[in-house]
Structures are given as structure tokens and as C-alpha cells.
Amino acid sequence: MYSFSEFEKANHPGVRSSEAKDDGAPGPDVTAAGERDDVGILESPFTRRVDDLDARNCLRLDVQIGQEIARWEAARLVVRARFARLRPPELNGGEQRYQAFDEFAGDELAAELKLSPAVGGRRLAFAVSAVRRMPAAVNALSFGTIDLERLGALERLTANLTDEQADQVAGEVVSNGGGRPSHSAFAAAVRRRVIRVDPQGAERRRRKAANARRVTVQAEADGMGRISALLPAERMLAAFRRIDGLAKKAGAPKEERDLDQRRADVLYDLLMGRDRDRINLEMQVIVSAECLLGLSEKPGEIPGYGPIPAGIVREMAANPRCTWRRILTDPAEGRVLEVAHRRFPSAALARHVQVRNPTCIFPGCDKPSTACDLDHTRPHGRGGETNERNLGPECRRHHRLKHAADRPPGAADSATTSTAMRWKVCQVKPGHFVWTSPEGHKYHVGPERHGED
């Protein structure tokens, strides 16, 4: 049997076991300079050993690796919960706001892990909730009894319970065999216990969940996008039946669209309505003249979405209602050189900055610049000029973060401990921003190089 410990030794031969004699000599993967000379997994001794495994041992080793991953995932949750405790919520007039950690702590985590601020915030909140509300489940994760996905379902499905009730549900599910045959079976077991521990709270939980209803959009590959709605179940079913019914009626004897395609078209038609030609929508698409003329297949760019194929750009350009605004770029650097002036210079300057930096300038934030505030890097009240060298788009959240950091010394209440007070940003040259985190880590955010990867 090939065990996980053998995997570690094979893939990291410089790691010594506790029984190994330490004679001071470097391990086999240590160079003359004393540095590791690691190789990738596909080139390691481990891979050569895997070629000797039979199917039974492949499955057993897979399980062991999963358990080891779960152990590290549990450790990571504990570390993140500790980080959150080191970033307490801001004190406001002596009263601590009801939140587990500073509102910008997730942004700090996201910048370090190269995540979006929203994802960083969710992961930090999940760690804090899991460690605080269901320690038994986190402990089970550390032993590989459950995996991170099951813990996530447990945390999500008990979100509207009290801490005591959530811990009770977690303890019952884990002690009763957390590793059920499937994730759906595990989730069903959690839902049954939620009802059991709080039978009178179903209506309260339903109302609270309904407050989270929302519509979200997500970029997909090949010029596609996804729009999703979170609704109360009865509204969701009613809306889908309406879409489904209209889609089925839209079928013709020689209809080439399948039912899924007709449903998507029906949804679009319902949202846009009969007067869609009268609806004026503004959407920025950045594209080279060569692409429009068919001389290049470099993709266009929609700020906040990303690249779209050249063919789709040309289809959009062929629309008679499409208006193009001239924007010249430097072919070598891809940076904006000129923006055609329309009406007011301030509007032209705004367009220039929005095209140069098409999203919020905070690390990892993908809020489109057209939905952001144009902020002075050096505050206007302290001599900052209104020009391309001192402007940058910031979403409202990160505008608040920077505004807090811009307060002069002594302006903040002595009790204030907000992480935002310790972020700093400077614009080293037009469009190039360097953010410094509370721990002194620096993150560079540069302008968009149009047409480049």
C-alpha cells in the first residue's frame, strides 16, 4: 500500500522523517547554495511510483489525500478566524457595530490571496462563522470526517439559527456520520435537523431568507454571460413556468432552436419588452480600428466584463443605432493617447480615466469604472489637482476605504481601529497605483493594456 506519508517523502525528498539521522548534510533536493530545488508534481518521484499502483490503491490514496487536504482546510479556517480577531470592527461613538470584524478585513485578505474583495470577504466571514458557531464540525473537518463542501452546506443551512442551535445541528450531523454518500444527502440531513431543533422558526427563517433576494450577472466564456435571480421559491417557480410555457408555444414545425434556447430568448424578450428599440442603453466597448475594419482579430473589451470576440464586436458595430466615440491608443503600450472631446472637457477627462482604468483601482476589484467614483489620489482639499495624473476610479466601498485613510493625523477618534485607516495609495504615474496594506504589503494596479493579455 502506497501511503500519503510516502507521497510526501517522494514529492518533497528534502523533508526528513522524525527517525532520520540529522548529520548536517543537505537533503537530495537542496542545492549547493542551500536552496530548495523543487520539481513539479508530474516530474517528481511520486509520479513514477503512481505508475505502479493498481486501481484499489489509487482509490485508497485518493481518500488519504482528501483527508490531508481537509486537515489543512480546517487549519486555514482557524488561521483566518484569528486574523479576523486581529481586525476588530470599528468603534463608532464608543459602540461596537454588530459585525465580527472590520469591514475592510476581507479586502486585505483578498489582496494577499489575489481574490476579488467580495470573495475575500465571504471566505473570511465563513471562517469566522464556522469556527465560532460550530467548532465540532471544524474539528471533524480536521480529521477528514467531512470535507469543506459539506462544512459549507452546514454553515449556510444553519445561518438563521442561533449559535447554540447551529452547534447542536452540527454536532448531531457529524456524530451521526457526516460523510454521507453524497453532498445532497448530507444537506438533506442538515435541513431535517434544522426543522427539528427549531420547528417554530420556519416562517421567521423564510422571511429572513427572502430579504436576501437579488439579481446577479457573471461573465462566461466565448462572449456569453449569465444572469441569475435569487427569489422566494413560489416566485421562482411561477416565473419559470411562465417562461417555459411561452417557450413551448414559440416552437414551430421547422423550429431550429431547442427548448433551452427558446427559454433564454423568451426571458430576454420579457425583460426588454415590446419597446426595446426605444430603450437607450450606453455600453462601452473598447476596440481597435483594425478590428472594426476586419484587419485584426484582436478581441474588444467591455469594461467590467472582459474580452469579447472580434466577430461580435463587428456585429455590434453594424447596428445602425450604435454610436462610436473615437479613442486612440498607443500600439506599443496599449495605453490611451487621446479621447475625442464632446461638449465639456470634464466629461472627456472622465472618459479618458475610465478607459485607461476600466475597473476600480483597488487590487482585485472588478467594479466597472463607469459605475465608480472618480477620486483624487491626492485629496483636492490638500492641493490635489484635477487631471489624469491625480484621478482614478474607485467603487463606493473602496472610495470610503481611501477616504478614511486620507484623514489627516488626529482627525479620527482615538478609539477608531478601522483597517481602512492604515491603507495607503499613491499614483506613481498616470494610471499606475500602488496600494500599501496595513501590514506593509504593496500591490500594483496598472492601466489596461488594450488588446493585450
pLDDT in tens, 70-122: 999 999 999 999 999 999 987 554 444 457 899 999 999 999 999 999 999 99
DSSP helix/strand/coil, 424: strand
Percent of the chain past pLDDT 90, that is, above it, reads 43
Cβ atoms of residues 375 and 130 within 8 Å:
no
Cβ atoms of residues 116 and 365 within 8 Å:
yes
User: What integer is the mean pLDDT of 437-446?
Assistant: 94
Locus of grid cell 474539528: 139
pLDDT band, very low/low/confident/very high, at 250 (cuts 50, 70, 90): confident
Q: If we measure between CA atoms, which residue out of 95, 91, 182, 174 comes closest to residue 140?
A: 174
Cβ atoms of residues 113 and 102 within 8 Å:
no
Q: Where are the beta strands (DSSP E) in 268-372?
A: 300-302, 306-308, 327-329, 336-339
The H-or-E segment that residue 127 falls in is: helix 117-133
pLDDT at 434 over 90: yes
Burial of 260 (0-12, 13-18, 19+ CB in 10 A): exposed
- What radius of gyration do the chain's Cα atoms show? 28
pLDDT band, very low/low/confident/very high, at 325 (cuts 50, 70, 90): low
Burial of 373 (0-12, 13-18, 19+ CB in 10 A): middle
Give the Cα separation of 453 and 260 in Å (integer).
33
pLDDT band, very low/low/confident/very high, at 349 (cuts 50, 70, 90): confident
Say which residue, 283 or 155, is predicted with more confidence: 155
Say which residue, 34 or 393, is predicted with more confidence: 393
Amino acid at 138: V
pLDDT at 14: 46
Say which residue, 313 or 281, is predicted with more confidence: 313
pTM: 0.72
Give the Cα separation of 85 and 102 in Å (integer).
9
pLDDT at 347 over 90: no
User: What integer is the mean pLDDT of 360-387?
Assistant: 89
User: What integer is the mean pLDDT of 309-331?
Assistant: 70
User: What integer is the mean pLDDT of 395-410?
Assistant: 78
pLDDT at 441 over 70: yes
pLDDT band, very low/low/confident/very high, at 7 (cuts 50, 70, 90): low
Highest mean pLDDT among 22-36, 52-66, 124-138, 293-307: 124-138
pLDDT at 412 over 60: no
pLDDT band, very low/low/confident/very high, at 419 (cuts 50, 70, 90): low
pLDDT at 20 over 60: no
Out of 27-41, 203-217, 259-273, which region has the weakest mean confidence (pLDDT)?
Answer: 27-41
pLDDT digits (tens, 9 = 90+) for 188-204: 999 999 989 998 887 88
Percent of the chain past pLDDT 70, that is, above it, reads 73
155's grid cell: 454553515
pLDDT at 406: 62
pLDDT at 11 over 70: no
Out of 6-15, 44-53, 251-260, 287-296, which region has the weakest mean confidence (pLDDT)?
Answer: 6-15
pLDDT at 204: 83
pLDDT at 9: 57
pLDDT at 136 over 60: yes
Give the Cα separation of 177 and 291 in Å (integer).
59
Say which residue, 290 or 69, is predicted with more confidence: 69
pLDDT at 319: 72
Give the Cα separation of 339 and 384 in Å (integer).
23
pLDDT digits (tens, 9 = 90+) for 251-277: 777 888 999 999 999 999 999 887 666
Locus of grid cell 500594483: 444
User: What integer is the mean pLDDT of 302-316?
Assistant: 78
pLDDT at 23: 44
Read off the DSSP letter of residue 100.
Answer: S
pLDDT at 29: 40
Read off the DSSP letter of residue 30.
Answer: B
Average pLDDT, the chain: 80
Read off the DSSP letter of residue 159.
Answer: T
Say which residue, 312 or 134, is predicted with more confidence: 134
